[in-house]
Chain A
Amino acid sequence: MGPLLPAVQGYMYPNEIELQWSILIVLYPFITGLVAGAFILASLERVFKVEEVKPTYRLALLTALAFLLVAPLPLQLHLGHPERSFEMYLTPHRSSAMAMFGFVYLWYLTVVLLMEIWLDFRKDIVVRAELSRGVARWIYRVLTLGSRNLSPAALRVDDKVGYFITLIGIPSAFLLHGYVGFIFGSVKANPWWSSPLMPVVFIFSAMVSGIAAVLLLYMLTSKLRRTPIDMRCVDTIARYLLYAFVIDFSLEMLDLVQRIYEADESLRALDFMVHTRLYFSQVILQIFLGTLLPIALLGLMQLWKLRDGARKAVYAVAGSLTLVGIFAMRWNVVIGGQLFSKSFLGYTSYKMAFATREGLLTAIVLTLLPLVILYGLVKLLPPWPKREAAV
């Protein structure tokens, strides 16, 4: 424990020196944001009839599911008593934002995502249950849930119900990630978190990260499958990414300007923190590399029409930078919010361990796990259009 003792500057209340929420709690809003964002991208095609993004529709849904399945793991690993976590469902405390999140999560997982994916893939599942052999046949048979009717009338019902679920899904996705923002934004003791804008900022940053992730995954999977990237599709996604990003950045700047102009008792401490301990992650990573640069790149792509190859490269760079920027934003919220004393008189530091329950290694594994799950999901339920699947 000795080398992990954080460096303190000024005065911290003695119980504040050790950070309570680690990198795992940084991952939690990052992963949940990817879920909400990916789903909102999927809904663009389904509800708002943006036909161009159709090639990513099913991939976005599976991405959302893969990340949602992992979302509770960092929380679970972080708990002092993980074996008691189920109490949140059995005896929830109704005034607690965190307790209610459990229900929002369950609602989103079962009613929205699983239902929508099942309805959308039901036809494929039934066909595969007939055509495949051995274990696969049994898996697909179970996945049909006994519903094997593929008559046009039945498929119409699937489509109608699916549409309805997407309609419910959009506010649910907003609720899911807005709620994560509320968990932080409602802590009045912490001026770095306490802001009514927090849920809104979280929603838009979620859209930004989810759209960027699906954009990257679509380009990557197309490369791996050696299928041409639909440029109309990626151009459209990049455009929506730019819109969401501009709104997200404006909201964050609004929050910042308000804080600076109001200059309440906490400003001196927060300002000092941003210029010292958070300088790299906030100013360099989040604002310059993770926000302004990708916005500039995406903006330039609206003005100049480069060759397809160059555009793809720019989108890949902008998408990757975006994910780095949003991760840095989550870091700055969660870790930044614990680096200063609630007395506003001092600062502590976060020393990340490596191979511990809440260490960097665990965080890396948890970040990669959704991609492994996604690989499995894509094998089980290929999201590609029919003619391509046959290739």
Chain B
Amino acid sequence: MDMTRRELLVKSGKFILLTSAAAIAWDHVLAGTPEASPNYDMTKHWWAMLIDPGKCIGCGNCVRACEAENDVPPGYFRTWIERYHIDDYHLEHPLVDSPNGGHDGFPDIYKDGGKTFFIPKLCNQCADSPCVQVCPVGATFVTPDGVVLVDEKYCLGCRYCIQACPYGCRFLNPKKNTADKCTLCYHRITQGLTTACCEACPTQARVLADLKNPKDPIHEFLRTHSVQVLKPHMATGAKVFYKDLDGSVR
């Protein structure tokens, strides 16, 4: 076949462009249509959570509810509770424990002075999430309504995201061999329910919030209270807000 160099370049250019187009089209076919949730419009929500450590009693209800709702394997945690104990002289070096993630509550071990309080933890649903940034295949992503999710059918199990999370919120699910984390009970909140942990909390120490809903009480709360996110210097756009967070919390 006679072909000039120009023809060869044009043909190979077309070939490369067309195969990429076909690959993109094929991806769309494979992805199928997203699971429909009637009356739920992703673009009308921006999910967050408010946590009031002053109300947390360390009962472990949230950890147990999460485990039951989401089939969390034993020894791993989508949410957990930490107990901080600080005396006047060691403000920067608190004593922290979280026996079995606070799943079974906390034994009373601090009798002497100093302050003791509980900090519930979960994925911060970061808007600029380092775990999303590093995933080599885009298996972990932020949904349009602000929740960080993992596509377990796509995750390679490389664990780069686990290394990248500054808060220790991710783990490798030993059954699925893929990254696992709090989904903010996405299957519930898209149906108009709250998360399992919020529902189980007896003191309302944790409350689901929708920043795009002008009627959500969070707006009033954020205007009138002192709130903080964990590790703000990490600049991850964390959306779990803590009321009056003690400076010793890591």
Contact = CB atoms under 8 A, between A and B. Distances in A.
A93 B137 contact: yes
B166 A189 contact: yes
A256 interface: no
Contacts, number: 122
B142 to A, nearest CB: 12
The A interface, classified by DSSP as helix, strand, loop or mixed, is loop
Contacts of A171: none
A18 B163 CA distance: 12
Interface stretch (A75-83, A154-162, A287-295): A75-83
Interface in B123-137: 130, 133-137
B223 interface: no
Given A189-B166, A342-B166, A91 B155 contact: no
Contacts of B130: 187-189
B165 A189 contact: yes
Contact of B234 (A189, A337, A344): A189
B97 A81 contact: no
Given A80-B156, A345-B250, A96 B136 contact: yes
Contacts of B186: none
B159 interface: yes
Contacts of B171: 15, 18
Categorize the interface residue count of chain A: 35 or more
Interface string B56-78: 00000000000000000001110
B162 interface: yes
A14 B101 contact: yes
Given A81-B155, A87-B156, A345-B96, A93 B101 contact: no
B242 to A, nearest CB: 15
B2 interface: no
A344 B167 CA distance: 11
Given A80-B155, A99-B136, A343 B96 contact: yes
A190 B166 CA distance: 7
Contacts of A99: 136-137
Most chain B C-beta atoms within 10 Å of own C-beta, residue among A75, A79, A102: A79
B133 A87 contact: no
Interface in B157-210: 157-160, 162-172, 176-178
B221 interface: no
Contacts of A121: none
A13 B159 contact: no
A87 B166 CA distance: 26
A93 B159 contact: no
A74 B158 CA distance: 11
A206 B170 CA distance: 32
Given A21-B159, A189-B165, A84 B77 contact: no
A15 B168 contact: yes
Contact of A95 (B133, B167, B177): B133
Given A20-B172, A84-B154, A189-B163, A97 B250 contact: no
Given A20-B162, A91-B27, A15 B157 contact: no
Given A99-B136, A342-B166, A345-B250, A15 B155 contact: no
Contacts of A45: none
Most chain A C-beta atoms within 10 Å of own C-beta, residue among B135, B168, B169: B168
Contacts of A190: 163
Given A20-B162, A183-B160, A189-B164, 17 more contacts: A11-B97, A13-B80, A13-B167, A20-B172, A80-B155, A80-B157, A84-B155, A87-B137, A88-B156, A91-B27, A93-B137, A96-B137, A188-B130, A188-B164, A189-B166, A189-B234, A345-B250
Interface of A: 11-16, 18, 20-21, 75, 78-81, 84-85, 87-88, 90-93, 95-99, 102, 183, 187-190, 337-338, 341-345
Q: Please give me the 10 A-B residue pairs with the lowest Cβ-Cβ distance, nearest first.
A: A80-B157, A13-B168, A80-B177, A189-B166, A99-B136, A343-B250, A93-B138, A11-B96, A20-B159, A98-B136
29 contacts: A11-B82, A11-B98, A13-B80, A14-B76, A14-B77, A14-B80, A15-B162, A15-B169, A20-B163, A78-B158, A80-B156, A81-B156, A81-B157, A84-B155, A87-B137, A91-B27, A93-B135, A95-B134, A96-B135, A96-B160, A98-B158, A187-B134, A187-B163, A189-B164, A189-B165, A342-B166, A342-B167, A343-B96, A344-B250
Interface of B: 23, 27, 75-77, 80, 82, 93-98, 100-101, 121, 130, 133-138, 154-160, 162-172, 176-178, 234, 250
